[in-house]
Amino acid sequence: MKSRRRGSPARKYYIIAALVAASLGLLYSAYLLRLSPGNAGKPVILYVNQGNGIVDGSNFAAMLTTARSHGFNTIFFQVYRAGNLLFNGSELGGFVTDAHAQGVRIFFALYFTSGSQILPQSIYSLGEDGISLDMSTLPSPSQQSLFGNLQAGYHAGETAITTTNASLALKPGILVLETYGVGSRGLIRYGIVASVGVFATASKADYEQQFQYALNYSDGVMVFDYAGLVKSGY
């Protein structure tokens, strides 16, 4: 009877060791990309835009896994869109618990399309780390009013604003300027958190270069958005 040919145990161990080393190398490269000297402690934000792909209870854990594997420490999670609150308090509290269990900060992002839309105060104090206002399309008086109301009524966390206005006079805790594409590099500076739009990158190398520049030369970096990052395969 012929015996089955078996692979060498030493060869199997070598292959396993090589795979482990490769995985560790990728993780270490990602770590160096984001935490080079001077960058530790900066917010590294992933924006979850519900308009480009729904993230809810069915795939929130997968989103967190992607965020952590890419070195993000903060999520701007869109929970309010064009006047509609997308989740109830119990769902939002669950998202907060899950994010914190993974060591990720979570801000509730509110996307406004009209000055008549109001802040959903029912989401205050659910354990979130902050609330971010996304209201660049609104006239300046409406933006001032919304931010003033947020400052007056919200004290449970940090305030943030994402904007396309490089000269915005409002002063939240985190001011994110949408510096998408290399053509906006001249707007990147300390005092704001710069941004990378996955849609405005040509390749993974281009994405990483834009990401690193934004992180190095501003107070942090925000990537827009989760759906685009997954689709790109970066």
Is residue 12 assigned to a domain? no
Is residue 57 assigned to a domain? yes
CA dist., res. 156 & res. 159, Å (int): 10
Comparing CA positions, the residue from 94, 92, 93, 178 lying closest to residue 134 is 178
What percent of the chain clears pLDDT 70, i.e. is strictly above it? 84
Supply the CATH number for residue 216's domain. Answer: 3.20.20.70
Per-residue pLDDT, 38? 78
Beta-strand (E) ranges in 23-157?
Answer: 44-48, 74-81, 84-85, 105-111, 130-134
**Position 73 confidence tier, pLDDT thresholds 50, 70, 90:** very high
Comparing CA positions, the residue from 151, 83, 155 lying closest to residue 116 is 83
DSSP 8-state symbol, 193 = B
Is residue 28 assigned to a domain? no
pLDDT at 36 over 60: yes
* Count of other CB atoms within 10 angstroms of residue 102: 13
Cα Rg of the chain, angstroms: 21
168-199 b/e (C-beta count within 10 Å ≥ 16 → b): bebebebbbbbbbeeebeeebeeebbbbbbbe
Task: Identify the residue with better confidence: 88 or 27.
Answer: 88
Residues 23-28: what's their mean pLDDT?
Answer: 44
Residues 161-186: what's their mean pLDDT?
Answer: 95
What percent of the chain clears pLDDT 90, i.e. is strictly above it? 82
Please give the span between the terminal C-alpha atoms of the chain, in angstroms, as a whole number. Answer: 51
pLDDT (tens digit, 9 = 90+) per residue, 90-137? 999 999 999 999 999 999 999 999 999 999 999 999 999 999 999 999
User: Total structural domains in the chain?
Assistant: 1
Its domain, for residue 171, covers: 41-232
Is residue 25 assigned to a domain? no
Is residue 187 assigned to a domain? yes
Of 15-24, 41-50, 93-102, 145-154, which range is least confident? 15-24
Task: Identify the residue with better confidence: 104 or 2.
Answer: 104
Of 9-23, 28-42, 158-172, which range is least confident? 9-23
Is residue 162 assigned to a domain? yes
Mean pLDDT score across all residues of the chain:
89
Is residue 11 assigned to a domain? no
* Count of other CB atoms within 10 angstroms of residue 158: 16
pLDDT at 22 over 80: no
pLDDT at 10 over 90: no
Is residue 4 assigned to a domain? no
Q: Look up the pTM and report it.
A: 0.85
